[in-house]
Structure 1
Amino acid sequence: MALDTFGSILQESEREVLNSLSKFVDQLPLVMSEVTQGVSEFKPTPSENRDCFKTSYNVKHTLLVKFNSDTIDETNIVEETLKPRVESFGGTVEKVGLSGNHITPCIQLYTPADAVAQRLKSLSLSDIRILATTISDWFKRFED
């Protein structure tokens, strides 16, 4: 496999990242097979999740992140669903808007692609750093 050849030139510290990428690539045939068979929805469905949230969601402080380039975003709907429930027990729901898209949270700060094309990832890495800082700062507000 090409990843094995590429792995021989990587430093030891980069092998863990390559291993993670290899596991991801190994899963692609199964995912593609499911997609070609018509699997296009998660279980439980988003509406089933929202129904459950209305009665069972018990997280006191909730941060929702809405990305500006996410074409399948449902943050506003989730906010409308959660807010009455969370406010019923004195909690808060906060929504922030950030640059990025649906896969921004999946981007690693350092990937094998960075070893080959670091400059091409600079914008994506900036988005993920802003996301991490936003979430971290939000959690710090609730420290004892």
Structure 2
Amino acid sequence: MEWLEISGGWVYLPRRDIKGIVHFLGGAFVATAPQISYRLLLEQIGKDGYATIATPFLNTLDHLAIAREVLNRFETILDRLHQTNKLGKRYLPVYGIGHSMGCKLHLLIGSLYNIERAGNILISFNNYPVNRAIPFIEQFNLTSTFNVEFSPSPIETQELIAKNYAIRRNLLVKFTNDNIDQTIELNPILRQRFPNMIALLNLPGNHLTPLSQEIQWQSEDSNTPISTLGQWFNQGFSRDLHRLKQEISIWLDPTLSF
């Protein structure tokens, strides 16, 4: 399998029969190249049998426009895949997976547009106001002088979700060492809409766990201190990422056993 660039997005197709389709949206500032920044996570999803469509985006204050743009791009890519018969002819369920800001975008899409989703996986949800989300912006006094804020604002986003979010089945993932995660605030809002359809997982890791990559340490001798340190470093990140990948696989296909 290899990554394909189609209509401004990145696609990873399974070699065997496709079980479903995943629309992936990454976090702010790392979403411009998801095929690189989330490579290990997305390729595992592909190996599990899901056609993965990752739509990049540039972060701006207008999150409504971004949500509309990534949805349009996803649907364009999906049409292209169907036209070229890369997905086969049978019905395939569509799932959304988001990390950090990507969660907010999936929640906006599910609240504003009439889309069909079998479920969403929301990892490390973040809905902070602009003065907490953008480093150092408060030092320039822009938010008070020019009334700078995301559109919709955090409060408006919560209200939209509470009134209109239509995706019934959701998996919320929170990491134990993540001090910018707001999943605990999102959980009761979704449970109020869809009791018994919301699963919440607390997993080892931090806000950057979905971005974990294997670092190649340059050393001919695997027993040197630098190689030993590299192996320890990779093992810690890989363990947390493996657990995340495992839980995603089980939620997408509960018949799997590990």
Instruction: Please give the TM-score of this superposition, normalised by the length of structure 2.
Output: 0.36
Paired position in structure 2 for 1:35:
135
Instruction: Please say if 1:140 is aligned against 2:240.
Output: no
Paired position in structure 1 for 2:186:
78
1:141 to 1:42, Cα distance in 2 relative to 1, 3 A: farther
* CA contact 1:69–1:99 (8 Å) conserved in 2: yes
Paired position in structure 2 for 1:66:
174
Q: Provide the rounded CA distance (Å) in 2 between the counterparts of 1:69 and 1:42.
A: 26
* Pairs within 5 Å for 1:34-113: 35-38=135-138, 43-87=151-195, 92-108=197-213, 110=214
Selected match of 1:120 from 233, 237, 242: 233
1:35 to 1:66, Cα distance in 2 relative to 1, 3 A: closer
Instruction: Please give the TM-score of this superposition, normalised by the length of structure 1.
Output: 0.61
SS at match of 1:72: coil
Amino acid in the other structure paired with 2:216? A
SS at match of 1:50: helix
Residues matched between the structures, number: 108
Q: Provide the rounded CA distance (Å) in 1 between the counterparts of 2:150 and 2:231.
A: 33
Structure 2 spans left out of the alignment, 5+ residues: 1-34, 38-133, 144-148, 218-229
Q: Provide the rounded CA distance (Å) in 1 between the counterparts of 2:158 and 2:255.
A: 26
* CA contact 1:58–1:86 (8 Å) conserved in 2: no
Q: Provide the rounded CA distance (Å) in 2 between the counterparts of 1:130 and 1:104.
A: 10
What percentage of residue pairs aligned between the two structures are identical? 28
Q: Provide the rounded CA distance (Å) in 1 between the counterparts of 2:187 and 2:205.
A: 19
* CA contact 1:61–1:92 (8 Å) conserved in 2: yes
* CA contact 1:65–1:96 (8 Å) conserved in 2: yes
Q: Which has the higher contact order (CA 8 A, sep 6+)?
A: 1
SS at match of 2:177: coil
Query: 1:82-121 deviations in whole A, cap 9, x for unaligned?
Result: 111123xxx600101110111212223x3xxx11134312
Amino acid in the other structure paired with 1:75? T
Q: Shift of the alpha carbon at 1:138?
A: 1.0
* CA contact 1:66–1:98 (8 Å) conserved in 2: yes
Structure 1 residue runs of 4 or more that deviate by more than 6 Å after TM superposition: none
1:133 to 1:46, Cα distance in 2 relative to 1, 3 A: farther
Structure (1/2) with the larger strand percentage: 2
Structure 1 spans left out of the alignment, 5+ residues: 1-18, 22-33
Q: Shift of the alpha carbon at 1:142?
A: 8.4
SS at match of 1:100: strand
